[in-house]
Structure 1
């Protein structure tokens, strides 16, 4: 008898309703490749926060832009390095892919800074700032895509 009661109460404790199903918003697959969506994704990658700005999420755009600009600035001050896409192994190529999320910042850093010196005590910290900033911008690009296809 105790097992039946426990089985009956389990959905209650898990927060599951047995009577009604959740209705999800209908997806519109044609929006995935719509010119507006591709433009927002491209601009969001190129200049961090721009896709959010153009979609009316101005507060989030300013926070993204300033946080990523600060991270890139700290990475440069600390003597960080941008990983090359080829020539140093597959593991470092993954790092290059993460850092390429910086978009225009990546090009600016690549053009105006030298490769960091691994003997510098803050070299690793600067490199990690670049990595984290790039990965955060990739997440922002995905978020911009979700806003453009009306998931948010």
Structure 2
């Protein structure tokens, strides 16, 4: 049986702390380990920042809806917005051999999201844009 939680907030950078706290609190209640919770918060923060700054660019501030579904095997976070659609393609890994001055100053967000999530799916429909982030739960180790 899964547990489902929802929060809706204005698509403003000031909302990010509340959204991170929501993920943290619900994961803690469900017994999700700290590493998984951190990765979910990191991916959500990056995705929501992109939606706020790019998805709602040149529009009135809209809203963000986060739906969190937790079951015995995985945690699924759905982020819905009503801004400009965006297709997050497979990101290109940063060139770790290049000097810092030669690195781009942005564009690593998708790389981080894909690096910490087990699955990333995006759909743009008439009902809004939905980014679905899936993280498998670590199996519990039972001492023998």
TM-score (norm: length of structure 2) = 0.33
Structure with greater strand share of residues: 2
Which has the higher Rg, Structure 1 or Structure 2?
1
Q: TM-score, normalised by structure 1?
A: 0.31
Larger helix percent: 1
